[in-house]
Every structure is written in structure tokens, then in C-alpha cells.
Structure 1
Amino acid sequence: MVTITAKPTSLESFLSLPETKPASEFINGQITQKPMPQGKHSLLQGALCQAINQVAQFKKMAIAFPELRCTFGGASIVPDISVFRWERIPRDKSGQVSNRFKLYPDWAIEILSPDQRQNKVLANLLHCIENGTELGWLLDPKDENILLISSDRRIQIFKGADIIPVLDGINLELTAEQIFGWLKF
């Protein structure tokens, strides 16, 4: 993770900068570039989006978006996965999904990369929760556990065969064992 020293003075000036690869985020007046996703991160992100969308998108309940910039609460962050309830997905005048999401996700999911600081990622999830997000997950592939942050800021840890709570109304049962099992094939 790289903290960029030349920083804009406002969220608006940050948003006027060109996008970076990997994405940069603006939170608490600081610009931080996310680490480049590696194999485990990419596989977990894709498989988890697919698992959520197979259940939620078909029934028009929610959609999981990978690497979607969300701008809200004075910050602009790019969770690894942002899940939006169907009725909250911004649409343009033609009814298509908007390009810009100026609102918080209902469920934010982060996957810890080897060179990422857990406290930084946890701070992003807490920013989401403080601004209306119902549920946050932090996946740690190294320790094979998932930290869950609920809307009341309570933090729980899930391992092994524990069923991890998902967004209310989505009929999906996942365990840490199952999710991290996707890394073995």
C-alpha cells in the first residue's frame, strides 16, 4: 500500500484526478493506493461475487460489484466487493446502472492482501458502517478467518464451519471453510 504525498485538499479535487491502477482511495484527507491484487485475492473476489450474484441478482434483491468506487461521507473508497440492494442501485435516465455511485454499499467486503495493513482496511469498513452500511466483512486468507462488522459496530470473527451472516433477505449460507476452500482446486 502506497500513501501518495501530493494530496488534494478536498474530496472534489481528489475525484478530478485521473484513476490509478490499482485504485487510489481518499479517506480522512489522505490518498492511499490499494495494493495490486494477487492470486488468492483475485480468486476469492471473483468466487464471492459469483456466489452472491447467483442468489441475489437473479431474484432482483442485490448485486455484488467488484472494485466499485463508492463516494460518500467525505471519502471515496473502492471496496473489493460492494453489494447494493436492488432498489438502491443508482440508475441513469435510460434505466441503466450509473457509472458513479455516490452512496455507501449495503454490504462492503474487503480481502486482506499480504502487504496490506489490517487496521487501514478495518478503518475503511468502519467508515462504511458509520455512514449507513449494514454489514462489513474482512477476509484474511493467511489466517483463514473472516471479521464481521455489523451496523452496531460489533466485531465478530468466523472460522471453520461457522456460518457467516450475510445481508438480510439474501438466502445464502457460507462458511469460512467453504470460502477459503475455493483457493484449493
Structure 2
Amino acid sequence: MNVPATTPIALEEFLKLPETEPASEYIDGEIVHKPIPKGRHSRLQAKLCAAINRVAEAQQIASAFPELRCTFGDRSIVPDVAIFLWQHIPFIVVDEVPDNFELPPDWTIEILSPEQNVNKVIGNILHCLNYDARLGWLVDPDGLSILAFARDRQPVLLRGDEMLPVLPEIELALTANEVFGWLKMTR
């Protein structure tokens, strides 16, 4: 949902506004409200963060952050999952994570909600890639597919048992079926 401003708002002014729930993003001079995450979205987001952090965080390779505000270029966005290589995390006081990330994630993951505008979501992924992110995923729970973006090649639509691309530093082997299998919970 877009909330057009009666007068254009600058990025600096947007960043002074109180945070909203769900998060608001600043895109092309507009404040865009992200939809409230629902069950499938929340489940996929949690499982993706856990899977990535399980193989990358203890070895200080990378860390996956859910709903982390990233401000760079002329946007302030909140990817569903933002993955930063360890050396790119702007640590403060003795390895402490900062509140503000003023750089793009190395890998951005967006989980499409039915009420989201797919082109705005893809626009955020492309914005990350234009500012040196290396990988982006658009996860579509309704289509059981993942559209993978990289700076150096055409997007690839992945389904079923196709292996999903990850950053080469992160030793994680996942297929689209495995990701969407997380939606099923056994009792």
C-alpha cells in the first residue's frame, strides 16, 4: 500500500519518522507500507533465517537478519531477509551489531504476499543488485517458485527439485521443494 505524500518527503525526513508496524519503506520519494506478514510468510522467513544462520553464523561467514532496515542509495527498504557476509556487517563496540545498516545486503530475500505489488518488490531486489548486492530471491508461496536474481546473469525461475543459488561462501544446499516443504508442519 502506498501513501502518497501531499508534498514530497526527503529520505532524511523519512528516517526521522517513528517506525511503523508493519514496516514502511521509502521508495522513489514515497512511503510504502509493507503488508502485515501472515502465516506462510512468517514460517518461510523464520526457516530461511534459521537455515542460513545454522551454516554461516557460528563460523562467522554471514548472518541472516529478518526485517532489517537497510538504507542506501535513495531508498530505505526492509527486506524480509537480509544476509550480510561477516566482513560487511558494520560492527560497533567490540563486535556488537549496530542498529543502522546503511548499505545493501549481500543477499536479499523477499517473500511475496498476495497483496504486494510484485514489480515494487522486484524493484527493491534490483535496487540492491545495483548497489553491489550479489544475489536476490523472490519467493512466491502461491506459485511454489523462487525467482533468483544475480548481477551477472538473467533471472532464473526455480521450482521443484532445482537447486537454489546461494552465495558461494555459504555452504547451503536447498531446493525449491525443500523451502516450500517448510510450510507443512507435522503434528
TM bucket normalised to smaller: over 0.9
Which residue in 2 is equivalent to 1:91?
91
After TM superposition, give the deviation of residue 167 of structure 1 in Å.
Answer: 0.9
- Aligned counterparts of 1:30 and 1:166: Cα–Cα separation in 2: 31
Which string of whole-angstrom CA distances, capped at 9 and with x for unpartnered residues, describes residues 38-81 of structure 1?
00000000001000000000111000000000000111000000
Deviations 1:124-183 (A, max 9, x none): 100000011000000000000000000125211000000011012111000000000000
5+ residue gaps, structure 2 = none
The amino acid that maps onto 2:3 is I
Q: CA deviation at 1:95?
A: 2.9
Query: Does the 8 A contact of 1:129 with 1:153 survive in 2?
Result: no
Q: Which residue of 1 aligns with 2:154?
A: 154
Aligned to 1:30: 30
> For this pair of structures, how many residues does the alignment match?
184
* Aligned-partner residue type, residue 110 of structure 1: E
Aligned to 2:107: 107
Return the alpha-carbon distance in structure 2 between the equivalents of residues 131 and 95 of structure 1. Answer: 25
Verify the 8 A CA contact 2:9 2:30 in the aligned structure 1: no
Aligned to 1:163: 163
Q: What does 1:53-72 correspond to in 2, within 5 Å?
A: 53-72=53-72
Q: Secondary structure at the match of 1:158?
A: strand
- Identity, in percent, stands at 52
Question: Could you list the runs of 4 or more consecutive aligned residues of structure 1 that deviate by over 6 angstroms after TM superposition?
Answer: none
**Cα distance, 1:157–1:69 mapped onto 2, change above 3 Å:** same
The 2-side partners of 1:153 and 1:22 are apart by 33
The aligned counterpart of 2:179 is 179
Which stretch shifts more, 93-102 or 11-20? 93-102
- Amino acid corresponding to residue 45 of structure 2 in structure 1: Q
Question: Partners in 2 of 1:8 and 1:90 — Cα distance?
Answer: 30
Aligned partner of 1:4 in structure 2 is 3
Deviation at 1:8, TM superposition (A): 4.8
Q: What is the distance in 2 between the residues matched to 1:177 and 1:83? A: 21
* Residue 16 (structure 1) aligned with residue 16 (structure 2): yes
Q: Which moved more, 1:2-11 or 1:43-52?
A: 2-11
Paired residues of 2:129 and 2:150 also in contact (CA < 8 A): yes
Query: 2: distance between equivalents of 1:96 and 1:111?
Result: 28
Which AA in structure 1 matches 2:103? L
Aligned to 2:73: 73
**Other structure's SS at 2:40 match:** helix
